[in-house]
Amino acid sequence: MATTPASAQDRSAVRSLLRLWPYVRPARVRLFSAAFVAILASCVGLVIPLVLKWMVDGPIAGRDPAGVWLGALYLLLLGLAEALLFGLRRWLVARPLTHVEASMRAGLYRHLQRLPVAFHDRWASGQLLSRGTTDLMLLRQFLAFPLTFLLVNGVTIVVGVVIMLLQDWTLGLVVLVPAVPVMVTCLVFEKRYAQVARRAQDQVGDLTTVVEESVLGVRIIKGFGRHRSQARAFRDLSRTLRGTELRKARLLATIWGVIVTLPEVAIGAALVVGAVRVADGALSAGTLVAFLSTALALRWPVESIGFLLAMSQEAATATERFFEVMDEEVEHRTSEHTASGRPTSERTASEHTASGRTSEHTASGARAGAKDPQDTGLRFHHVRFRYPDAPPGSPPVLEDIDLHIRPGESMALVGATGSGKTTLTALVPRLYELTSGRITLDGKDITELSRQALRAKVAVAFEEPTLFSAAVRDNVLMGAKDTAGTADLERALAVAQAEFVHALPQGTDTQVGEQGLSLSGGQRQRLALARAVVGQPEFLVLDDPLSALDVHTEAAVEAALRQVLADTTALIVAHRPSTVLLADRVALLSGGRIAAVGTHHELLRTNAEYAHLMSGEMSGEEEGAR
């Protein structure tokens, strides 16, 4: 569930909203013009009471029909001018504000793509979706209406009060009496409403997460008959959100009641006092009409304060939620930082030690005019890794990993569940950053490569294949350069034994659907493998890529995959002996450390843990065959 950051309790709405300025700046001319036009329209509206005063004290008092018609014409023209100016204001803001919303949404999407995997591990997808949709819609609405009218209504109130005081300062003071309690109420309301608005928007994110998970996991829900429990969870969250929205409504009703009631009472009092003064001859009827008309014209600017402040608070909260994501640190582009995000000069002693061991070899190789064979291929130099959000003092997932995969060699990575195999493979393409140590590709530290260059060298296939709502062709060619064509696609499909796609309704142009759930698990896994090999990468990282395949398909894929492995350097997470036999050597990972390295047959003879793991797999396969 989402929680409101402590900083949100004390933050200034104005300070939060000012952060929107870089996005609003390109549209500033039209926005300022729209505000000026709206102020002008409001001031035109305030001229109407002055025309009424002239009519009452002039043509009406003097029984001049021509003057009355002239006054009516003035009022009509003023009304038309006011309407046209407000229409112009709306036209001025419509196009630029949709552009502001679109640019903010595009910026958020780009930023999400650049954030590390560790960020996405922490954040619920529904919270991110609500920030990119609901929150940005609130911001556009705020920029289009409340932002302008907070300024316009403020100017209108000031000008209107000045006009009333000039008409009759006694009646003006009567109308101003409620100003102090109204301002105090607004200050109290602002703080309380900000907290409730933040809670409501976080709860919308929680609800979005539940809906998304229910849609993506509908097969599990139906398969286990859990639709009632999921519906119950959804109803509970909906009730919670409804309660929060009702609290917002109660707060808004309270301030609205105060803001509407007090000025109405003041206008009533001014009417009584003014009528008495007109009867005494101390005030003209036209002045009283003009005064009351001006006061009534100010009713809307005053009464709107409540919901304008409410919308402003919601916009401030939406801005805060937006920048909570945008303020997250993206993956570093250059080698100025180590994998842990610290400057290179701040590496730990263990990192320097690990670097020192290899730098001596590098230096001697350079002096001899040849590259040290120990620095070629894929090498892990005393790698240590702990997840960024792990509790302080917890043991690392990987400790002192020192492993060398020679050029053109395939190494299988074997270990019990939870030993850290998948985590180790994720470090090579820098999906996670090392805590300490180094990983080198042909002697080059991966942190010295841009991520684009690194991921052009390294291709990956995960145990849980992810496909996108796109054509089969697009899903596979995602792993290749832009110049890849049909020949590359067909070669990759052949390696992965994925020719089944040609039997699909539109062949390789068939849309696979969200998450590829229209395909079987084995079909998705074969397409993910095709995606990994289509670009003919220098380095290949496969995380148990054949786990969902039947025995016969697995054998066919392995036969084709051997040809690919002959031309690349590969690290393969393996659970089955058949997958292990694809590799030239095997590394046993136990408790986050490399326990043994050797060929499959050597480890079977010399390592009891490896023999136990493989015997369990082999007996399981034999039982499955029976």
> Residue 352: CB partners within 8 Å, gap ≥ 6?
none
Per-residue tokens: 368: 């001899």
Percentage of the residues of the chain whose pLDDT score is greater than 70? 87
Domain ranges of the chain: 14-201+244-326, 372-386+396-625
**616 forms bridges with which residues in the sheet?**
none
Checking DSSP bridges between strand 378-385 and strand 398-405, what pairing results, if any?
antiparallel
Residue 383 has pLDDT above 90, yes or no: yes
DSSP states of 376-394: SSEEEEEEEE--TTSPTTP
How many Cβ atoms from other residues are within 10 Å of residue 488's Cβ?
Answer: 19
Query: What's the CA gap between 489 and 508, in Å, rounded?
Result: 9
Per-range mean pLDDT, top range of 301-310, 389-398, 435-444, 471-480: 435-444
Query: What's the CA gap between 376 and 526, in Å, rounded?
Result: 30
The predicted pLDDT at position 348 comes to: 41
The predicted pLDDT at position 336 comes to: 39
> Using 50, 70 and 90 to split pLDDT, how confident is the model at 363?
very low
Do 302 and 263 touch, CB atoms closer than 8 A?
yes
Q: Mean pLDDT, to the nearest integer, of 133-159?
A: 85
Query: What's the CA gap between 88 and 27, in Å, rounded?
Result: 16
Q: How far is CA 87 from CA 24, 81, 451, 467, 537, in A?
A: 21, 10, 50, 48, 59
**Closest of 314, 137, 127, 142 to residue 204, by C-alpha:** 127
**Closest of 444, 287, 316, 319 to residue 375, by C-alpha:** 444
Per-range mean pLDDT, top range of 327-331, 359-363, 471-475, 587-591: 587-591
Q: Mean pLDDT, to the nearest integer, of 454-460?
A: 86
> Residue 505: CB partners within 8 Å, gap ≥ 6?
none
> Using 50, 70 and 90 to split pLDDT, how confident is the model at 322?
very high
Identical fold for domains 14-201+244-326 and 372-386+396-625, yes or no, is no
The predicted pLDDT at position 455 comes to: 83
pLDDT digits (tens, 9 = 90+) for 492-551: 888 888 888 888 888 888 887 666 666 777 788 888 888 888 888 889 888 877 776 777
How many Cβ atoms from other residues are within 10 Å of residue 567's Cβ?
Answer: 12
What class is the 14-201+244-326 domain?
Answer: mainly alpha
**Closest of 392, 387, 421, 393 to residue 592, by C-alpha:** 421
The predicted pLDDT at position 198 comes to: 85
Residue 96 has pLDDT above 90, yes or no: no
Residue 367 has pLDDT above 60, yes or no: no
Query: What's the CA gap between 619 and 534, in Å, rounded?
Result: 34
Do 459 and 532 touch, CB atoms closer than 8 A?
yes
Residue 355 has pLDDT above 70, yes or no: no
H/E element, 359: helix 349-368
Q: Mean pLDDT, to the nearest integer, of 412-441?
A: 89
Q: Is 474 exposed, middle or buried (0-12, 13-18, 19+ CB in 10 A)?
A: middle
> Using 50, 70 and 90 to split pLDDT, how confident is the model at 211?
confident
Three state DSSP letters for 115-171: CCHHHHHHCCHHHHHHHHHHHHHHHHHHHHCHHHHHHHHHHHHHHHHHHHHHHCHHH
> Using 50, 70 and 90 to split pLDDT, how confident is the model at 205?
confident
Query: What's the CA gap between 415 and 49, in Å, rounded?
Result: 86
Do 202 and 2 touch, CB atoms closer than 8 A?
yes
- Residue reference for tokens 């003014």: 274
- Measure the N-to-C terminal CA separation of the chain; round to a whole number of Å: 47
Order the strands of the 444-445 sheet from edge to edge. 398-405, 378-385, 436-441, 444-445
> Using 50, 70 and 90 to split pLDDT, how confident is the model at 404?
very high
Q: Mean pLDDT, to the nearest integer, of 47-68?
A: 81
Per-residue tokens: 599: 């060929």
**Closest of 198, 209, 206 to residue 322, by C-alpha:** 198
Residue 409 has pLDDT above 70, yes or no: yes
Q: Among the listed ranges 269-273, 453-457, 612-616, which one has the minimum average pLDDT value? A: 612-616
The predicted pLDDT at position 167 comes to: 84
> Residue 57: CB partners within 8 Å, gap ≥ 6?
284, 285, 286, 287
CATH number of 372-386+396-625: 3.40.50.300
Q: Among the listed ranges 42-46, 354-358, 438-442, 468-472, which one has the minimum average pLDDT value? A: 354-358
Q: Mean pLDDT, to the nearest integer, of 119-123?
A: 84
Q: Mean pLDDT, to the nearest integer, of 213-231?
A: 74
Q: How far is CA 262 from CA 159, 180, 184, 469, in A?
A: 20, 11, 13, 57
The predicted pLDDT at position 353 comes to: 41
The predicted pLDDT at position 130 comes to: 86
The predicted pLDDT at position 359 comes to: 41
**Structure pTM?**
0.70
The predicted pLDDT at position 483 comes to: 67
Question: How high is the mean pLDDT of the chain?
Answer: 80
- The residue among 517 and 373 whose pLDDT is bigger is 517
Per-range mean pLDDT, top range of 107-111, 253-257, 457-461: 107-111
Query: What's the CA gap between 140 and 101, in Å, rounded?
Result: 6
- Residue reference for tokens 């097969």: 219
Do 604 and 610 touch, CB atoms closer than 8 A?
yes
